[in-house]
């Protein structure tokens, strides 16, 4: 059968869409120290967490947050790597670490058995799943942790859609911002966010572009240094992205944006905010830009109402 160019392109689109739909979800996971308060197992909690982290790192659909980075980020909030993360605090921890799934749990002995219980929490949905492994008191922690990691991986990969909130479009977010602003007067604003990627040159300012676009769509007048009009409010900040790790053909990048909104006349600071995010793609630059774009979108939703007060 002879294909015309149009038919060939149509087939490419169909197969491309099918391949995209079949791509498995890749989720970022943060593993916290397991509780181990009992005297007999008091030193096993951190060891179990480290072993589970190592095992999950080998899973192709899971990207683990580095333990050192996790401790550094949470240390700033005085949360630490404790195993006391609850569903109601999961969202905050997710924002801080960029993780979509948190794993914590407990190690204890009951009768003559050694038991490890894991709690798997979605930072978007607060959905919680539990898994456990057990063995005799003399059982190998390495083997039990490996078995539990397999069960955790199964939950994350098979039930990821219930752990992660449905991805919303930019239009959905803008509509929600407009509703929150109601009829409030939109001041003119300028946006200047310096951007840097650790690993390669920055081609265009993704964070600044995304924030500017959303504010424009929400009814704000955005001006720059070439505009004849001066802004009522100046939004300035810094953004950076960094290479995370590679899993097969996939590359993860993390980003962080810090910004300040300040009245041009008088210099009153209206708000100061920051946001981290993680993104995955087959190209490092695209992953980095997407992570910055996502962080800027979340900041825009919190920032916009502060500008009309």
**Length of the chain as a residue count:** 309
pLDDT of residue 5: 41
Q: What is the mean pLDDT of residues 258-282?
A: 91
Instruction: Report domain extents, the chain.
Output: 24-163, 170-307
First CA to last CA distance, the chain: 66
CA-CA distances (angstroms) from residue 141 to 33, 64, 90, 133, 248? 14, 20, 27, 10, 29
User: Whose structure tokens read 């810090």?
Assistant: 258
Average pLDDT of the chain to the nearest whole number: 83
pLDDT of residue 256: 92
Give the global pTM.
0.59
pLDDT at position 20 over 80: no
- Kindly indicate the confidence band of residue 12, based on its pLDDT and cuts at 50, 70 and 90: very low
Q: Report the C-alpha gap between 140 and 58 in whole angstroms.
A: 20
Instruction: Give the CA radius of gyration of the chain.
Output: 23
- Is there a common fold for 24-163 and 170-307? yes
pLDDT of residue 130: 94
pLDDT at position 10 over 60: no
In the chain, % of residues over pLDDT 70 = 83
pLDDT at position 235 over 90: yes
And the tokens for 190?
């300028």
- Kindly indicate the confidence band of residue 8, based on its pLDDT and cuts at 50, 70 and 90: very low
Tell whether domain 24-163 is in CATH 3.40.50.2020: no
Superfamily of domain 170-307: ABC-type transport auxiliary lipoprotein component (3.40.50.10610)
| Contact yes or no for 171/129 (Cβ under 8 A) | no
pLDDT of residue 243: 86
H helix intervals, 164-283? 170-181, 206-217
pLDDT at position 150 over 90: yes
pLDDT tens-place string over residues 64-80: 887 777 776 666 554 54
Q: What is the mean pLDDT of residues 161-171?
A: 80
And the tokens for 143?
């083997």
pLDDT at position 138 over 80: yes
Higher pLDDT, 263 or 283: 263
Q: Report the C-alpha gap between 31 and 69 in whole angstroms.
A: 12
**CA angle, 55 then 132 then 116, to 5°:** 75
pLDDT of residue 160: 86
- Kindly indicate the confidence band of residue 203, based on its pLDDT and cuts at 50, 70 and 90: low
């Amino acid at each position: 059968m002879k294909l015309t160019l149009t038919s060939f392109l149509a087939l490419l689109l169909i197969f491309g869409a099918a391949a995209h739909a079949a791509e498995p979800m890749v989720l970022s996971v943060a593993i916290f120290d397991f509780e181990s308060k009992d005297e007999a197992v008091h030193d096993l909690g951190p060891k179990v967490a480290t072993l589970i982290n190592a095992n999950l790192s080998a899973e192709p659909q899971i990207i683990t947050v580095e333990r050192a980075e996790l401790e550094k980020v949470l240390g700033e909030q005085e949360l630490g790597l404790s195993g006391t993360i609850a569903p109601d605090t999961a969202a905050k921890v997710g924002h801080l670490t960029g993780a979509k799934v948190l794993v914590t749990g407990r190690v204890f002995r009951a009768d003559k058995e050694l038991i490890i219980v894991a709690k798997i929490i979605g930072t978007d949905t607060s959905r919680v799943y539990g898994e456990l492994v057990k063995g005799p008191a003399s059982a190998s922690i390495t083997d039990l942790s490996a078995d539990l990691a397999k069960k955790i991986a199964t939950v994350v990969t098979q039930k990821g859609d219930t752990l992660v909130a449905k991805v919303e479009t930019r239009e959905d977010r803008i509509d929600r911002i407009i509703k929150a602003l109601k009829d409030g007067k939109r001041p003119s604003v300028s946006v200047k966010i310096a951007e840097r990627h650790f690993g390669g040159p920055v081609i265009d300012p993704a964070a600044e572009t995304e924030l500017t676009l959303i504010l424009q769509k929400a009814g704000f007048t955005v001006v720059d240094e070439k505009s004849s009009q001066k802004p009522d409010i100046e939004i300035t900040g810094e953004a950076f992205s960094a290479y995370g790790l590679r899993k097969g053909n996939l590359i993860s990048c993390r980003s962080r944006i810090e910004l300040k909104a300040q009245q041009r006349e008088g210099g009153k600071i209206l708000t100061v905010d920051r946001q981290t995010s993680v993104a995955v793609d087959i190209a490092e630059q695209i992953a980095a830009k997407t992570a910055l774009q996502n962080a800027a979108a979340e900041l825009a939703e919190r920032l916009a109402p502060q500008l009309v007060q």
